[in-house]
């Protein structure tokens, strides 16, 4: 007999690679009776769910049509009220631009038990994959995460002053289409045009790509790269240590002028 009310788990799938799932996330997926997953979650991760599990793709991919947040909330509620254990599977970490706060508040207001299972976020995955630190003694004492998209969750005018601090590593999510705008705003707030910066496509995956550029050339470099997957922008002196960039002439010039 199904239970009267199920439970909802907001689970971080990480940035893409299945072997970056936490043990807790793996167990949650393997025990799911209903799986609501983002469009960017890898097929090999979705395949870990039981064959009898109800599976619904809810979209959530930049620039493409997706299910509204209100509809996702209502769907989770309806499935949980049917007595199913629901896994809401999100790319990265649910608490970093994943709307976990909204979903938790909605579900708890309707008497549904909710648990958050953290995941590896793209900035951490990119740093590990390409061998650079997000903080570094004498270079980066602070890490700030922001979205590069206009509107919701974007850094406001007050935040840009912090992001322009030369001792800050600034990681911008969803940055493929706004790299030039991000760079211009940082420079306008005082960040040196020669600051090293990188763009990482598909962080953690086998097809991940990294390009490096001076901050004032970042927009052009991203456009020329022709990225099609999700792109993370990382700005700051510590990014010059990325393995894929250290042999390029642009790296040496950026490092020389940033000092």
Check residues 28 and 155 and name the one with the higher pLDDT.
28
Q: Does position 148 have pLDDT exceeding 60, yes or no?
A: yes
- Whether 127 and 109 map to the same domain: the answer is no
Answer yes or no: is 205 within a domain.
Answer: yes
Cβ–Cβ under 8 Å, residues 181 and 147: no
Inform me whether the pLDDT recorded for 257 exceeds 70. no
Query: HEC states along the chain?
Result: CCCCCCEEEEEECECCCHHHCCHHHHHHHHCCCEEEEECCCCHHHHCCCCCCCEEEEEECCCCCCCCCHHHHHHHHHHHHHCCCCEEEEECECCCCCCCHHHHHHHHHHCCCEEEEECCCCHHHHHHHHHCCCCCECCCECEEEEEECCCCCCECCHHHHHHHCCCCEEEEEECCCCCHHHHHHHHHHCCCCCCCEEEEEECCCCCCCEEEEEEHHHHHHHHHHHCCCCCEEEEECHHHHHCCCCCCCHHHHHHHHHHC
Q: Are residues 126 and 254 in the same domain?
A: yes
Question: Rounded to 5 degrees, what are φ and ψ at 113?
Answer: -70, 135
Same domain, 160 and 71: no
Task: Indicate which CATH number applies to the domain containing 85.
Answer: 3.40.1010.10
Judgement on whether residues 145 and 243 belong to the same structural domain of the protein: yes
Query: pLDDT (tens digit, 9 = 90+) per residue, 197-227?
Result: 999 999 999 999 999 999 999 999 999 999 9
Sign of CA dihedral 148, 232, 11, 41: positive
- Is 126 found in the same domain as 100? no
Give how far the C-alpha of residue 7 lies from the chain's centroid of Cα atoms, to the nearest Å.
25
pLDDT at 132 over 90: yes
Active site residues: 38, 60
Q: Are residues 126 and 250 in the same domain?
A: yes
Q: What is the pLDDT of residues 65-116, one digit of tens each?
A: 578 999 999 999 999 999 999 999 999 999 999 999 999 999 999 999 999 9
In this prediction, residue 133 has a pLDDT band, given cuts at 50, 70 and 90, of very high
* Residue 149 predicted with pLDDT over 80: no
Give every CB contact of residue 98 below 8 A, 6+ residues apart in sequence: 10, 12, 90, 91, 92
Instruction: Residue 229: give the domain boundaries.
Output: 122-258
- Residue 253 sits in the same domain as residue 132: yes
Residues 113 and 129 in one domain: no
Nearest Cα residue to 103 out of 60, 73, 58 = 73
Report how far apart, in Å, the C-alpha atoms of 150 and of each of 10, 11, 86, 146, 166 are.
26, 26, 31, 11, 23
- Mind listing the pLDDT tens digit for each residue in 16-37? 999 999 999 999 999 999 999 9
Is residue 164 very low, low, confident or very high in pLDDT (cuts 50, 70, 90)? confident
Q: Edge to edge, what strands does the sheet with 231-235 contain?
A: 142-147, 168-173, 231-235, 196-201, 209-214
Q: Report how many domains make up the chain.
A: 2
Q: pLDDT at residue 54 above 60?
A: yes
In this structure, is residue 2 part of a structural domain?
no
State whether 129 and 193 are in the same domain: yes
Q: Is residue 112 part of a domain?
A: yes
Residues 45 and 145 in one domain: no
Query: Domain check: are 13 and 113 in the same one?
Result: yes
**Model pTM score:** 0.87
**What number is the average pLDDT over the span 158-173?**
87
As a whole number of angstroms, the distance between CA 217 and CA 177 comes to 14
- CATH classification of the domain holding 129: 3.30.950.10
Mean pLDDT value across residues 224-249: 84
């Amino acid at each position: 007999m199904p239970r009267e009310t199920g439970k909802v788990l907001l689970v971080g799938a990480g940035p893409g690679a299945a072997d970056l799932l936490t043990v807790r996330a793996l167990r949650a997926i393997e025990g799911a009776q209903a799986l609501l997953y983002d469009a960017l979650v890898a097929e090999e991760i979705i395949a870990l769910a039981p064959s009898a599990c109800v599976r619904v793709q809810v979209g959530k991919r930049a620039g493409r049509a997706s299910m509204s947040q209100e509809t996702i909330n209502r769907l989770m509620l309806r499935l949980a009220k049917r007595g199913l254990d629901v896994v809401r599977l999100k790319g990265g970490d649910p608490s970093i631009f994943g709307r976990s706060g909204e979903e938790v508040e909605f579900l708890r207001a309707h008497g549904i038990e909710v648990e958050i299972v953290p995941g590896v976020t793209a900035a951490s995955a990119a740093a590990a994959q390409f061998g650079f630190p997000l903080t570094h003694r004498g270079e980066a004492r602070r890490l700030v995460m922001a979205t590069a998209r206009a509107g919701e969750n974007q850094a406001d005018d007050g935040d840009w002053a912090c992001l322009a601090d030369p001792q800050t590593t600034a990681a911008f999510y969803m940055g493929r289409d706004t790299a030039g705008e991000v760079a211009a705003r940082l420079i306008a707030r005082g960040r040196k045009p020669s600051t090293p910066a990188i763009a990482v496509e598909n962080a953690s995956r086998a097809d991940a790509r990294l390009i490096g550029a001076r901050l004032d050339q970042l927009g052009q470099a991203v456009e020329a790269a022709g990225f099609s997957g999700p792109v993370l922008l990382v700005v700051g002196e510590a990014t010059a240590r990325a393995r894929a960039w250290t042999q390029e002439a642009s790296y040496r010039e950026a490092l020389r002028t940033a000092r």
